[in-house]
Amino acid sequence: MTTMTTTTMMTMMMMTMTMTMTMMMKTWKGDGREGYPSEGPYDCIHVGAAAPEIPRALTDQLARGGRLVIPVGPEGKTQHLFVVDKDRDGETLRKKNVMGVVYVPLCSKSHQLNKRWV
């Protein structure tokens, strides 16, 4: 029987996680409100800009048992960070308001460019 120390096991787990995350990471140019359906479904989606409401396109792209983390609320005002879990049945969504936040808006390219120099 082979014995490993906790440190060795943790290092191996971290290396495995790092290698997996590196291999899975991609970037592309597009409208974040629409997600990237051709590569889904996703176990986890993190959105780094606030949407006025939770985009249906993103919850549709969650895998069964998947999680979406997204700030939701009006531009320039207090928003709420939501954690949305899709149950294993693939149909039921559970939404939890985690905390108040303020993020930049999740919006179209034209909206961004129109406000860029204001």
Check: CB of residue 68 under 8 Å from CB of residue 54.
yes
Q: Which two tokens stand for residue 52?
A: 């006025």
Residue 52 pLDDT level (bands cut at 50, 70, 90) = very high
pLDDT tens readout for residues 88-118? 998 899 999 999 999 988 877 777 666 655 4
pTM for this model (two decimals): 0.71
DSSP 105: B
- For residue 50, the SS3 value is strand
pLDDT tens readout for residues 15-31? 444 545 555 667 777 78
* Confidence (pLDDT) at 60: 96
In the chain, beta strands by DSSP E: 42-46, 62-72, 79-86, 93-101
